[in-house]
Amino acid sequence: MSATAAPLPPAPLPPEALAFRDGMSRLGAAVNLVTTDGPAGRHGLTVSAVCSVTDTPPTLLVCINANAFAHDAFLENGVLCVNVLNADHQELSRSFARWTGEDRFAGGSWTSDGTGAPVLSGASASFDCRIVDHQRKGTHTVLFCEVQATTLRDGPGGGLIWFNRSFHTLGTSA
C-alpha cells in the first residue's frame, strides 16, 4: 500500500502582493452574478471585477479567476449574463461565491434572453453577452463581452457593493 502525499499549502504571498490586496479591498465595486449556460452546462459565480469597455458596440469586461470551477465552462459556452445585484441579494451572492455542491440557482428566479445564459429576474440590471475575446493575465482571465441585450429593473432597496471585504448597500437616488 502506497501513501499519498498531502497537497502542499499555497506559498505565502510576498508583502507587495498583500499590500496590493489590501489596497484593492478599498476599491468599492458592484456585486454581480455572472452566469452561463450551453454545452459545458449551467454555471455561475459571484464577481466584482466587471467594467464597461465601450458603448459602440456595447462591450464590457469580466475577470474570472482561472482556478474557478466554472472558468472553462464560460469559455466553452461562449456566452454569459452579468446580473447586477441589489441589497436583497446578499445571501444569493454568498451561495454563488462558494462551491458546496448545492444547486446555487435554486435561490433565485431565472429566465433567459437571446444567448441562453441565465438572467436573474430580480437583478437591478442584466447584460446578456457573447464572449468575443479573452486574455489570460496572471491568475485571471479577462473576458471581453459584447452585450446582446440590456434589461433594467426598478425595485426596492439600493445597490449591493463589496468594500473592505464586506457587503454595503447604496441608497436609491431621489
How many separate domains does the chain show? 1
pLDDT, average across residues 78-102? 90
Question: Is 116 inside a domain boundary?
Answer: yes
8: pLDDT strictly greater than 70: no
CB under 8 Å to 61, separation ≥6 — which residues? 50, 51, 53, 142, 143, 144, 145
Question: Is 120 inside a domain boundary?
Answer: yes
State the pLDDT confidence band at 70, using cuts at 50, 70 and 90: very high
Rounded to 5 degrees, φ, ψ at 39 are -55, -30
Question: Is 12 inside a domain boundary?
Answer: no
Sequential DSSP letters for 23-66: HHTTS-EE-EEEEE-STT--EEEEE--EEEEEETTEEEEEEEET
Question: Is 96 inside a domain boundary?
Answer: yes
**Residues above pLDDT 90, as percent of the chain:** 64
How does the average pLDDT of the chain come out, rounded? 89
State the pLDDT confidence band at 121, using cuts at 50, 70 and 90: very high
Model confidence, pTM:
0.87
pLDDT, average across residues 33-39? 98
Which letter does DSSP use for residue 90 in this model?
A: H
Question: Is 63 inside a domain boundary?
Answer: yes
- Domain containing 56 — which CATH number? 2.30.110.10
Question: Is 2 inside a domain boundary?
Answer: no
Beta-bridge partner residues of 165: none
Q: Structural domain of residue 163, as residue ranges?
A: 18-170
d(CA 124, CA 78): 24
- Which has the closest alpha carbon to 49: 67, 31, 28, 63? 63
Q: Which of 3-12, 93-102, 122-131, 132-141 has the lowest mean pLDDT?
A: 3-12
Question: Is 124 inside a domain boundary?
Answer: yes
Say whether 96 sits in a helix, a strand or coil.
helix
Question: Is 7 inside a domain boundary?
Answer: no
